[in-house]
Amino acid sequence: MRKALHVILTIGLMLVLGQSIWGPDMADAATEGGQRIKDIAYDNAILMDDGSMWTLMIDGKGKVLTPGNVASISETSRYAGLGVTRDGKLIEWDMGLSPRAVEGQTGLKQVAGYYWLKEDGTVWTSKGKMKGLENIEHIGYGDRFFAALSSSGELYFQDSYQAYVFHKVGTVPDPSAVTAIAVYDGRAALLYNNGKVVLYHTFDFDDNGKPIPFIGSANMTVVSTETAALVKKAMQGSLANYVGKSYWVNYFQGWDRIMKVTVTDILPDDTGSFVIVFKTATGKTLKSYSMTSGHVAELLSNRTAFFNFDPYKKYQWSSSVWNQIKAGHIALGMTKEQVLLSWGEPAGKSATQADGKTIETWVYANFDTVAFVNGKVKVIIN
């Protein structure tokens, strides 16, 4: 997700603050004449939508604009990278080296990290043509991982310990419908032309050698085909449906009770677990502990932790009652619903009839006891 973060941070600094690591004149150039930023490679190069590029000069501070017809770029290090022109030529740049064509490399379709894909389906690096990769349609590179997808659906990953050695990890369905591939931390996310993204691990296959989707699929809008946001959306799957929903805290991580929080994100980590990000009504950000995808859904539907309705609207009780509940206290005259909200479910219940009255007793795990007469608290033992 490094590239996505750099894109967000750099654009934010340039367009919101009006300056950046590039200086105010480059920020002005980004909007002058209606030009727009198309892509950013790490923090050293900016590709404009007219095909020109801003890159660093040798001192690392100055910058230079090189006119051109560059279609896409990909970083190879913090200060260097490769690109493809609109007529299929390979370009390279580095600190102090403006974008320039690489002699003899034409007919390109895509670049990804140190690799480039040609229209004939072969994959190349500065070391030459890569053996074992033929009829390739898409390549992806991220976090030092490289993957390639062939026209017949074979998915290849580079060996983790041997450079330029590639292993077929299986065959994916409907390869002709794939429009892009993103790679991150041993996972490959395939974007299909219907907007669906399917995420695969490099080690999870069925008995026929076909990769099993790691976490189903999800629909998404692509900002950049080489951003790790593809992987994030695919990992989230149906969990993305919780983003934007509001809840009211009951008992969770010591947070203020009956506080309204809204889910703003569900962040996956490298272990396949997730952290739920909430925002309070005052704008404060709160995060849950790390949990499995199944536990996310279970937690947000568990009334012990969160209410999916506004308790203040449903139960229009006095402020003194709410103050007691939020403090975890109960008082004589409270209803069973009020006691439930304050103390939660008891460990045991018993009920009897006497003199035309219903007497119900609740006993909690710590042996605290509450007795109700006709639904109102009459006795508290704690």
pLDDT in tens, 60-110: 567 788 898 999 999 888 788 999 999 999 999 888 888 999 999 999 999
Domain-ending residue, one of 257, 280, 307: 307
253 and 153 share one domain: no
Decide: 270 and 306 in contact? Cβ < 8 Å.
Answer: no
Q: What is the pLDDT of residues 176-196, one digit of tens each?
A: 999 999 887 677 888 898 888
Q: Cα–Cα distance between 172 and 149 in angstroms, integer?
A: 9
Q: Is the pLDDT of residue 363 over 60?
A: yes
Q: What is the pLDDT of residues 263-307, one digit of tens each?
A: 999 988 766 788 999 999 999 999 999 888 888 989 999 888 999
224 and 331 share one domain: no
19 and 129 share one domain: no
207 and 257 share one domain: no
Q: Is the pLDDT of residue 10 over 50?
A: no
196 and 262 share one domain: no
234 pLDDT tier (thresholds 50, 70, 90): low
136 and 228 share one domain: yes
301 and 344 share one domain: no
24 and 100 share one domain: yes
Mean pLDDT over 240-267 rounds to: 92
Q: What is the pLDDT of residues 306-340, one digit of tens each?
A: 999 999 999 989 999 999 998 889 999 999 999 99
Percent of the chain whose predicted confidence (pLDDT) is above 90: 45
- Residue 350, beta-bridge partner list: 361
Structure-token match 């007691």, residue found: 324
27 pLDDT tier (thresholds 50, 70, 90): very low
CATH number at residue 359: 3.30.1450.10
Domain-ending residue, one of 60, 77, 106: 106
269 and 290 share one domain: yes
**The pLDDT value given to residue 232:** 67
Domain-ending residue, one of 307, 323, 340: 307
Percent of the chain whose predicted confidence (pLDDT) is above 70: 80
73 and 124 share one domain: no
Per the structure, the count of domains in the chain is: 4
37 versus 162: which is more confidently predicted?
37
Mean pLDDT over 214-236 rounds to: 53
Domain that residue 337 falls in: 315-381
